[in-house]
Amino acid sequence: MATSANTQQRDPNTVLVGKKPVMNYVLACLTLLQNGNSGVTIKARGRAISKAVDVAQILTKRFATDVTVKKISIDTEQVKSPETGTTSNVSSIEIKLEK
């Protein structure tokens, strides 16, 4: 959905979780899976990390029970504030789901 619109340089099977309601991202993942993809990657940064875990759990436990969590990795990204110009560290998560 809208989440994959601004991720042209990324893997098209990636859903970037942000500030929208959880079910938006669940639907985005379901759409990708129903379009013949065997897997989908959920990414999030900062506070959206909790929501990314929610998305993965709702998918695997309720809507796509044939999909399982294949790999979870965490990392730190440097984010530059456009106002102050200072860089800060933000944690990120990547959850790979596969059929």
Residues lying near a second copy in the complex (CB under 8 A)? 46-50, 53-54, 56-57, 61, 69, 72-76, 89, 91, 93, 95
CB of residue 25 to a second copy, shortest distance in Å = 13
Nearer to a second copy, 35 or 79 (CB): 79
Query: 5: which residues sit within 8 A by CB, 6+ positions away?
Result: none
Element spanning 87, H or E = strand 87-98
Nearer to a second copy, 19 or 61 (CB): 61
Nearer to a second copy, 28 or 48 (CB): 48
CB of residue 97 to a second copy, shortest distance in Å = 11
Whether the CA torsion 70, 63, 15, 11 is positive or negative: it is positive
CB of residue 28 to a second copy, shortest distance in Å = 18
